[in-house]
Amino acid sequence: MKKLLATVLALALVLTAGSAFAAQKVGVAMPTQSLQRWNQDGANMKAQLEAAGYEVDLQYANNDVATQVSQIENMILGGAEVLVVASIDGGALDTVLQTAKDNGIPVIAYDRLLTGTKNVDYYTTFDNYGVGVIQGQYIVDRFDLENAEGPFTIEFTGGSPDDNNAGLFFSGAYDTLKPYIDAGKLVVTSGQVDFETVATPAWKSETAQARMDNILSAYYPDALTGGTTLDICLCSNDSTALGVTNSLVSFGFTAENIPVITGQDCDIPNTKNMISGLQAMSVFKDTRTLADQTMKMVADILAGNTPETNATYDNGVMEVPSYNCTPVFADASNYKELLIDSGYYTEADLAE
């Protein structure tokens, strides 16, 4: 009898120990695998969280809001103790986030602010307004707008209207360049300068390409034969920049005479374009840095500590405690140091 009791007690101790040391579960909801950056974000997040000892449920929603809602619901049912959400539409998740809140599950908005909801606890991102400022300031410096008379022609291509960051990128760039537009040093021949008009739904390259095709045919039909030239294409990210570049190349531009094109994310095709002279610059947001900061925030939350923050963002309902990581300028002169020497890419990744 004593031997049986000892066995039962020993088994209870094993079960208790197993329960005590079971990996805590983190749900990671990503918007899509159709853009390179989200694949890298998801992979970096999963790797860092698992290296820290957490169980990770990583899901991609194929840019479909209903799918993302269902995935988050399943994460909640599956025992996630923290949710990290990179939303498709930042204003469309309040109901499922309320379910998380009702179940005591903290929510971290990842790179895209969750808007119109009180059911978000923290936000990790880059300085997204600052991304646009970097792009705009590059144009100011590249064309010496403080001293040059101009005029130089410019067209804007923004990001997806359902992504809160897209408006920040555009505002940062436009606010930087507006004084030179007002002074007549920069001319937007199409007249398209409001975000709603220049936005690119779902950040799709083909949509940006089609819009630039229309702009070229309507406003710059003889740009290559002595007519109105196009000097600058301010693109908010690399997927839109790729579409714009494809349009310009199809129109007949080459690396020798293509307009100055900005971008963001240092995607592989765009980095190759920078090397070959088809894209002027990009803004590098190291997803490893963002994943590391998010992982630290998860660890603090699960340990009952208050995560480090250095900013707040107004989501329309509340000021969300946030952490801003720092974006950096990238072009053909420094891509090796930023992208290859750091291990972000290999030489083979960028080989033609």
pLDDT tens-digit series, residues 270-301: 999 999 999 999 999 998 899 899 999 999 99
The pLDDT of residue 207? 98
104-149 pLDDT, tens digit each: 999 999 999 999 999 999 999 999 999 999 999 999 999 999 999 9
Range of lowest pLDDT (16-20, 245-249, 302-306): 16-20
Residue 206 predicted with pLDDT over 50: yes
Range of lowest pLDDT (44-48, 151-155, 200-204): 44-48
Domain spanning 22-120+286-325, CATH architecture: 3-Layer(aba) Sandwich (3.40)
- In one letter, which amino acid is 168? L
Structure tokens at 238: 């690399």
Q: Which CATH class is domain 128-285?
A: alpha beta
Structure tokens at 94: 């309040």
Structure tokens at 51: 């290296």
CA distance 298 to 130: 25
CB contact at 8 A, 217 and 252: no
Section 245-268 average pLDDT: 97
Among residues 219, 220, 330, the alpha carbon closest in space to that of 267 is found at 330
Element (H, E) at 145: none
Handedness of CA 83, 77, 14, 16 (dihedral sign): positive
Structure tokens at 294: 């998010």
Quick one: pLDDT band at residue 2, thresholds 50, 70, 90? very low
The pLDDT of residue 247? 98
Handedness of CA 73, 75, 78, 81 (dihedral sign): negative
Length of the chain: 352
The pLDDT of residue 22? 65
The pLDDT of residue 19? 39
Question: In the chain, pLDDT over 70 holds for what percent of residues?
Answer: 94
* Helix/strand/coil for 27: strand
The pLDDT of residue 8? 32
Whether 22-120+286-325 shares its CATH topology with 128-285 is answered yes
Mean pLDDT, rounded, of the chain? 92
CA distance 230 to 219: 9
Query: Residue 319, CB half-sphere, CA atoms under 13 Å: how many?
Result: 4
Residues 6+ apart with CB under 8 A from 336: none
9-41 pLDDT, tens digit each: 333 333 333 334 468 999 999 999 988 888 988
Quick one: pLDDT band at residue 224, thresholds 50, 70, 90? very high
Listed in order, strand segments (DSSP E) in the chain are 25-30, 55-60, 82-85, 107-110, 122-126, 152-157, 186-187, 232-235, 260-261, 282-284, 311-314, 319-325, 328-330
- In the chain, what are the domain boundaries? 22-120+286-325, 128-285
The pTM of this model reads 0.83
Range of lowest pLDDT (151-155, 275-279, 343-347): 343-347
Residues 6+ apart with CB under 8 A from 178: none
Please state whether 63 falls in left (phi above 0), alpha (psi between -120 and 50) or beta.
left
Structure tokens at 183: 């002074």
CA distance 343 to 131: 22
